[in-house]
Structure formats: structure tokens, C-alpha cells
A and B are shown apart, each in its own frame.
Chain A
Amino acid sequence: MEGSRTLLEILVGASGLTLAAAMPFLYAALGEIFAQRSGVLNLGIEGIMLMGAFTSIYVVSSKGLSASPIVGLLVAIGIGGLLGLLMAVVSVTLQAEQGISGIGLTLFGLGTSTLLFRVLAEGVIVAEGFPKVNIPVLSTLPIIGPVFFQQNVLVYGAFALVPISVWVLNRTTWGLQIRAVGQNPKAADSMGVNVARVRYSTVILGGMLAGLAGASLSMALTGVFQENMTAGRGFIAVALVYFGGWSPWRVMLGALLFSAANNLQIWAQVLGVRVGDAAIPPNLLIMLPYILTIVVLIFARDRQRREPAALTKAFERGEN
């Protein structure tokens, strides 16, 4: 059906797209690493992503405020930070059950983004999004160029964030505090670390990155907003954190794996996968990333060793 294009060209296109589609997973999962390393499981990032996805593209689109894309990103980050703050109040100060309150936050984000979409944008929203930035010299390389160096700014940003996260977690005082608070809050507290403050900071940062993840999905990857467009990506991002053993590098590998799985429909077309003489029904292909998530969780067996010891455990200073 793509008569004029060679197989190689199609493969290169699909690979480039896989890299780009890893971006929302990366932003969301890196943010979640920070929250979880400090001991907070934030299951609300699905909802935060939806809010980020809608608000960013809304302020940028012509039906909205026609703001610049940068403003769109900042709005998504700001909204994400606010929702992260809400999650922090609920899970750190009020010590609520983290799993259930995260589901509540997801329902809230799903409902609110749908509501805003229907009322403000009347159900249709399209935006120009982010232009591709060709890296000089490198982008002209055959194959490697189009796959790696002709992406939009947000894709580069997502991958740059991986080493930055590693550095922050392992080489800064704040990173040390995060890890201490997640492993042994009591000891950290006795050393004068403000456990609540550290957890607030990581959950808010996680929220900001989840908002950015949503914006990257709507503005940079698709250029549209649809109701419930994240379709479980936020939860997959949480699963990626388990899969990657709380290490940004491994989480990045996981994100690429899932992005490839998510693009499976495209791959199946590229590679001409067929059963008998019929194409595989698309719904069965869409299922695969979710099945893969469950499989990956089964095999992330060595995680108990790495799991932050205080994950999901609220901390109350023992002063009473």
C-alpha cells in the first residue's frame, strides 16, 4: 500500500515514532521515581496527565487562548504541580491510603478534563504543536539521523532528563535526603531531615512531570486532545518504575519497550504481520501493551531488593 516508499524508509519512520512515543512514559515515570524513592506511591498521575494534556493544548489552540507552546507547557506543569500538591496533602499530611487516594485523583482528573473539554472546547481541539528540531550534522546521517536527531524539543528533553535524574538522586543533598526518607524516615528524621517537606517536594515534582507528560502527549505527539486519551499510560508509567527497579536508566529502557508495544499496530503493518490471509484485528494489538505490563510486573522479581523500604508507608513523627 506504500508503494513509493521502501521498507527501510518505513522502518526508520516507525523507529523514530517509537522514540517519540516513549516521551510521555519517560516524563511520567521519571517523576514517579522521585515520589516513590521518597516513599510515596502516586497512582494519580494518570489523572494529572489528562489534566496536563487538556490544559496545555487548550491554551495553545485557536479555540482557547492562542498562547505560545511554551506557555502551554508551563500551564500543564503548573496544573500538574497543583494536583501533586493535593496528592501530597492527602498522602503525607493526612496520611491517607495512597493506592485508593491515587485512584480518586485519577477519577477527578478524568472527569474534570472531560468536562472542560466538552464545555470549553466543545469536543474538538487541534493545535500545531511542536516543530521538529534537526540537530546540525547528526540529523543528516543516514538512518540514525531521522530516527534520533529529527525529533521535537520535548523528545530531546525527556531523554536528557534521564541522566539528570540519576545525577540528582545520587549526587545531590536533596537526592540523598529523598533516598533516606524513602528507606528509613525515622532515621532521616532523627538526622534532622524534614520528612514531610522532602515528600512534598518529590510528589509535587512528580505531579509537574506528569503534567508535562500529558502536554507532551497532546501537543507534541498527537496534536489533538481526546477524552481519556492517556488510556492507562499513567498506570503503565507506574508499572515501568517497578520494572526499572527505581533506576532512571532502566526505566528508560522500559519506556522504549512499551512505546514499541504501543506502536505495535504500526509495526504490524510495517512488517506485514498477518494471520492466514487476514490482518490481526486492531483491538487485539491494542491489548498487547497492557498484557506486557502484567508480564513485566511478574518478572520484576528482584524488585524487593530495591524497593524503597518505606514505600506507601505514611510517617508520623513520634512525639505523642
Chain B
Amino acid sequence: MNLRKSLTERDPVAVLAPIVAVLLALIAGAGILLALGKNPLEAYSSMWNGAFGDASRIYNTITRAIPLLLVAVGICISFRGGVINIGAEGQLFIGAVSVTAVSVAAGDALPAVVMVPLALIVGFLAGALWGFIPGYLKARFDVNEILSTVMMNQIAIQMLLFLLSGPLIDPREIELGTRIPQSARLPEAVWLGRLVPPSRLHTGVFIALIAAAVVYLLLWRTPLGYRMRAVGQNKEASRYAGINVPLYTVLALALSGGLAGIAGMVEVAGVSRRMVEGFAVGYGFSGIVVALFGRLHPLGAIPSAFFFGALLTGAEQMQRTIQVPSATMTALQGLVVIFVVSSDVWVRRRAVRRSARAVGELAPLEISIEPVPSEVK
């Protein structure tokens, strides 16, 4: 797949392309806002203000970036491994809801030193299971993973609603007769500590940064990561090289789902401390955009997550102060995706030209393999 190849290029154009893509998306967004009779400069300055206006807003921005980074790091694994995982949204929900179920059941019986690692493991495994299913279906039955992960998202949403309005509903909601679909409060032992109260910035930020570093090492410093990337670059060649392609396909999706599950754990234990309807909606999709913007590199995802955390925090501020719906951000993210994958063609062509120069007289090998249609001039 060309995208992955060119995203690994060490070409200044490859680095600049995502930035240009964001600028283009912001310009297009300004056009949409203008057409709706809103002042785009006012909108964007309110966004900037909302994201970086004072210290507490910067903390909010970082808090937002935590689940985005975890999802994006997972997406790096799957996209690098040749699987397009669109299911982070569902994997995150399932991770969070499993953590909620286990924590509520455990109550105050266990101390924090046990509860937090346990919750991390539960979140990871639940998300990994939600990723394993489409991964297995792709490896075994050649089921298109984009479609199956999209369906898994919808199933997860309904599962969440079912659990929150039935088995996991806060008993107080039934006592009071309000029946709002939300879980009971998680026991204090599983809460992630707040770093600078009263802001909600929590220790999950370290979990996310460690995850990024670990995934970087996994992908580039271990045989396992090497094989996953090899499968992502070229399935046929990997098979000839004796790599178990189905195994690494499943693994890439399951690990990717596991990280989304951790994102769900971190969000529920660090921010909301209970599951509510509409929990973390859209983070799964934003995480994909973050990963693409970070050029599918776990360390590149760090600044990228911070940037998109700022955009999302800013968009909320924009909605409050000048009544521009935060859905604007969803539209802009869509444009960023389109522009990033489109800009790819130039990066690729430059790479071909450079390798042609490097080979000199021997001519570009990639091209000469394909016979040129002789009739066309």
C-alpha cells in the first residue's frame, strides 16, 4: 500500500504534506463558516483561545490529547501492519465499559495498587477482543476489515446503551426513577490521580506517553514489529519470506484494539469516573486522523495528538461563545484525512524520481516491470 510506503519516506515534502493538509482544511472550513454567515477569524480565534487561553485550558487540551494519543498509537500498529482499523471507537467503548463493570463489581475491596493495573489489563483485553474479531475474520475469511470494524462500532454503541440502561445502570437512577442511562460511580481505588487540580489533567498522560514509546520500540526494535510492518508493506513477499501473514494480521488488529481499550480505561478512570451516554464519542475517529497526521509514527502521534486535542477543546469553546457547532471539527477532520491521503501522490512521485536518479542508467525498476501499452503514443 502506497500510503504506508511514502509515509515512511524521509522526505521534507512528506513531513510538510500533513501540515499543508491541515492548513487547507482550515481554509475550506473558513469557507463553510463564511457561507453560514459566521466570521471565520472570530471562530478560529475563539478556538485558539479555548485551547490555549490560560493554564487551565492548556491542561484541558492535554487531557483531551491523552485518549487521542492512545488510539492513534494503536492505529499506527494496524495501518503499519496492513489493516485499516476503523473500529477504534467501538474498541474504546468496550474497553471502558468492561473496566466499569469490573471496577463496580470489585467495589472498595481492592487497593489502588491492584485496581489500576487490573483496570488497564481489563481495558486492554476487552479492546483487543473487539479488534481480534474483525482481525480473525479478515485473516480466516478475507472479510473486508473496514466494513467489519464499522459494523463492530455500531454493535458496540448498542451494547453500551443496553448495558447502561440495564445491567450496569446506577442503582440510584432506579431508586430515583429517573433512569438516566449511566453507570454507578467507579470506586476511588481505580481513579487516576489529578495532576493539577482543579483541572482534570490526570496521570493517564504518562500511560499514553509510555504507550507511544513502547509501540515505537515494538514496531522498530523487535522482530515481531518488523514482521508486522513487513506484512503491511507487501503480503506476498512476506509470505515467501516465511512470515505467518494471517497471524500478524490478527495481531495488528488486536493490539490496535487493545490500545483503544486502554484509551477507554484512561478516559473513564481519569475524567468521567463513570460511564455515561455519549461517553468519548468521536475519539475513535479523531484518533485515526491524529495517526495519519503524525505520519503513522507513534512518536509523531504525540505532537499530533496535542494539536488535535487543542482543536477539539477549542471547538467546544467556539460552540459556547459564538454558537458555531463543534461538528465543524468533524467536517474539518474529514478534510484533513482526504488531503493527507491525496497529497501522498506527490510524495510518492518524488520518491520514484529519486530512486530513478539513484539507479542512474539502470532506469526506474518499479516502472519497467509493467509493460507500456504499445499502441498508445
Contacts and interface: CB of A to CB of B under 8 A. Distances in A.
Instruction: Classify the secondary structure of B's interface with A.
Output: helix
Contacts of B327: 110-112, 114-115, 118, 227
Among B1, B150, B375, the most chain A Cβ lie within 10 Å of the Cβ of B150
A123 B221 CA distance: 51
Interface string B148-168: 101111110011011001100
Contact of A318 (B152, B325, B345, B370): B370
Contact of A107 (B142, B337, B345): B337
A97 B325 contact: no
Nearest to B356: A320
Contacts, number: 171
Given A97-B1, A110-B331, 17 more contacts: A47-B334, A86-B338, A95-B2, A109-B334, A110-B334, A111-B327, A114-B327, A115-B32, A120-B36, A186-B373, A227-B327, A232-B151, A232-B154, A281-B165, A284-B158, A298-B141, A318-B367
A297 interface: yes
B180 interface: no
A110 B1 contact: no
Interface string A268-310: 0000000000000101101100110110011001001000000
B279 interface: no
A176 to B, nearest CB: 19
Nearest to B151: A290
A111 B374 CA distance: 47
10 contacts: A110-B327, A110-B334, A115-B32, A115-B327, A115-B328, A235-B151, A294-B151, A294-B152, A297-B143, A318-B373
Contact of A112 (B32, B338, B374): B32
Interface of A: 43, 47, 86, 89-90, 94-97, 99-101, 103-112, 114-116, 118-120, 186, 189-190, 192, 227, 231-232, 235-236, 238-239, 242, 281, 283-284, 286-287, 290-291, 293-294, 297-298, 301, 304, 317-320
B189 interface: no
B210 interface: no
Given A111-B333, A115-B328, A281-B162, A101 B151 contact: no
Contacts of A86: 338
B330 A290 contact: no
A73 B80 CA distance: 42
B373 A297 contact: no
Contacts of A107: 285, 289, 330-331, 333-334, 337
Interface string B345-377: 100000000000000000010010011111110
Q: Which of A89, A100, A287, A319 has the most CB of B within 10 A?
A: A100
Nearest to B328: A115
Nearest to B79: A100
B330 A111 contact: yes
B92 to A, nearest CB: 16
A137 B36 CA distance: 49
B341 A101 contact: yes
B155 A290 contact: yes
Interface of B: 1-3, 32, 36, 38, 84, 86, 134, 137, 141-144, 146-148, 150-155, 158-159, 161-162, 165-166, 285, 288-289, 292, 324-325, 327-338, 341-342, 344-345, 364, 367, 370-376
Q: Which of B143, B159, B367 has the most CB of A within 10 A?
A: B143
Contacts of B344: 94, 96-97
Nearest to B36: A119
B331 A100 contact: no
A231 B150 CA distance: 10
A297 B372 contact: no
Of A119, A231, A301, A318, most buried by chain B (CB within 10 Å of CB) is A119
B331 A112 contact: yes
Contacts of A103: 86, 146, 285, 288, 337
Nearest to A87: B338
A22 B341 CA distance: 33
A108 B155 contact: no
Given A115-B325, A189-B376, A283 B342 contact: no
A94 B328 contact: no
Contacts of A186: 370, 373
Given A47-B334, A294-B143, A298-B137, A283 B328 contact: no
A110 B286 CA distance: 13
Which one of B142, B147, B338 has the highest number of Cβ atoms from chain A below 10 Å of its Cβ? Answer: B338
A283 B334 contact: no
A111 B335 CA distance: 10
B163 to A, nearest CB: 9
B144 A242 contact: yes
A199 to B, nearest CB: 15
A9 B142 CA distance: 43
B150 A232 contact: yes
A293 B152 CA distance: 10
B144 A104 contact: no
